[in-house]
Chain A
Amino acid sequence: MMLGAIETGRILMAAALMAGAGVVLGAVIGAIARIFRVEGDSRVDLVTELLPGANCGGCGKAGCRDFAKSVVSGENPPGKCPVSTREQVGAIALALGVEVGEVAHKKAVVRCSGTLFTSDRVAYYNGIHKCSSAMLVGGGPKVCRYGCLGMGDCARKCPFGAIEIINNLAVVHEELCVGCGSCAAVCPRGVIAIVPAAAHVHVFCNSPEKGAQKRKVCRSACLGCGKCVRKDPEKFELEAGLARVKYSAPELPTAETVEAVGCPTGALAMTERHRQKASEETNAK
């Protein structure tokens, strides 16, 4: 087959047509783009890309994009994101040319140890299986007004699946929790506290009532006996009938501290031991 005059002409025409169309359309698009220019900060998109994208709200902003905006504007340091790994924070800081910033890693702890077996109920609750709904019915089925209701509002809210309901008690899995605070916000009893991530020993009770009253309705409550405070006043404090770990103290309690104190009800415990105890089905009545 030979390329005749018409053939070459045809090919040239086709090429010319396509080129022409491309140039014309390109020019039109360019012109429109110039007229309809939108001022935007591409850095916000860049930072949003680098963030984990969990949209958990742990930084205090409404989602990762919002946080990215605040980082670009200088309102927050990149380290404020509790979910980002060190590498991610470093990458963001590098991209923007800012400081990493101090980040105090926190986590959540459900300060109650009243399971189905250790804490009494006042009545059989037959309504919607939600803590907030149960509160509407006479304040909830547990006799203790301050303890965990165990119907899972926090577990459902946790964006990282870090809370497990064991025998009607919510227990936080430390390794999964990032301290975003969503659970604490949704708990109608205010049982969940956001504490420093380095703390592994807590007093798992939330009721400020008198020890004798608490003992009648819950076998694992803190009696407010003060043993821990007397043993180690630097690390613990007593408020009404409830002992608390001093989280702002220079030294946090350890496994040895718990051993040395010997809490009579076991309300003072390591998180690991607390989780084990919650799974026990003994009725220590």
Chain B
Amino acid sequence: MKYLELTVGAALVYNFVLSRFLGICPFLGVSKRLDTAMGMSGAVIFVMTLASGTTALVYRHLLRFTFRGKAYDLGFLQILLFILIIAALVQLIEIVLQKSSPKLYQALGIYLPLITTNCAVLGAATINAQNGRTVLDATIFGCFSGVGFALALLLFASLREKLELASPPKAMEGTPIALVTAGILAMAFSGFAGLC
């Protein structure tokens, strides 16, 4: 039951983009084309999994420790430390990506460092901390949240590619119709409520 919540719950029922409304920036920014969306999805899943894992590790073992007999509870450093770790992770990914796939690197452009300040990744880490999850559970949760994000992103990218060929009224062309579509997609995903 717990694992159902961690997987299906994280991906569909409490979808980060469409139910929690976190990570809207890359969702709207990289979803113009399916191939960049796929690249971004991969990056986000990777970052979220790794970030959730490391932040959970740090939270459970590094922020509460005993040194020279004294117990220290540095839980208040949670946000600072999480951001530091996530920033470092994304920087690492950026460096590796620049070398391994320059085309994808150029296509993602500004959006790669934007994952750093992306509330989705920090959100996943904080939610894990809030629920006091073990490292394994946190990692699974992070991974499937990323999968849910990727799902929403890919769906939206496919829709936007089709929208490009449609002819809405002039005032709605571009971002307005995209936002309306995102709203309808969010409504659709609310149908998953009650699953777990």
> A residues bordering B, Cβ < 8 Å?
6, 9-10, 13-14, 17-18, 21-22, 25-26, 28-29, 32-33, 36-38
Q: A17-B62, A29-B92, A38-B98 are in contact. Are A10 and B74 (CB under 8 A)?
A: yes
The B78-122 residues at the A interface (CB cut-off 8 A) are 80-81, 84-85, 88, 91-92, 95-96, 98-100, 102
Binding site for A on B (CB under 8 A): 62-63, 67, 70, 72, 74, 76-77, 80-81, 84-85, 88, 91-92, 95-96, 98-100, 102
- Please give 7 more A-B residue pairs, beta carbons under 8 A apart, in addition to A13-B74, A25-B88: A18-B77, A21-B85, A25-B84, A26-B88, A28-B88, A29-B88, A32-B96
Residues of B contacting A: mostly: helix
Q: Which residues of B contact A32 (CB under 8 A)?
A: 92, 95-96
How many Å lie between the Cα of A6 and that of B80 in the bound state?
Answer: 21
CB-CB under 8 A for A10 and B92, given A17-B62, A25-B85: no
Give the most central of B80, B88, B100: most A CB within 10 Å. Answer: B88
Q: How many angstroms between the C-alpha atoms of A112 and B113 in the bound complex?
A: 53
Q: Are A18 and B84 in contact, CB atoms less than 8 angstroms apart?
A: yes
Q: How many A-B residue pairs have CB under 8 A?
A: 47
Minimal Cβ-Cβ distance residue in A for B97: A36
Among A13, A29, A36, contact of B98 (Cβ-Cβ < 8 Å)? A36
* Interface CB pairs A-B, < 8 A, 12: A13-B74, A14-B74, A18-B84, A21-B81, A22-B84, A26-B88, A28-B92, A32-B95, A32-B96, A36-B100, A38-B98, A38-B99
> Which residues does chain A contribute within 8 Å of B95, judged by CB atoms?
29, 32-33, 36
Contact in complex: B70, A9 (CB < 8 Å): yes
B14 CB to closest chain A CB (Å) equals: 30
Contact across chains for A18 and B80 when beta carbons are under 8 A apart: yes
A9 to B72, CA, bound (A): 9
Q: Is the CB of B88 within 8 A of A10?
A: no
- Quick check: A14 and B92 within 8 Å, CB to CB? no
Residue in B62, B72, B102 with the greatest tally of chain A CB atoms within 10 Å = B72
Shortest A227–chain B CB gap in Å is 48
Residues of A within 8 A of B98 (CB): 36, 38
CB pair A18 B99 closer than 8 Å? no
Chain A residue nearest to B92 in the complex (CB): A32
How long is the Cα–Cα vector from A17 to B67 in the complex, in angstroms? Answer: 12
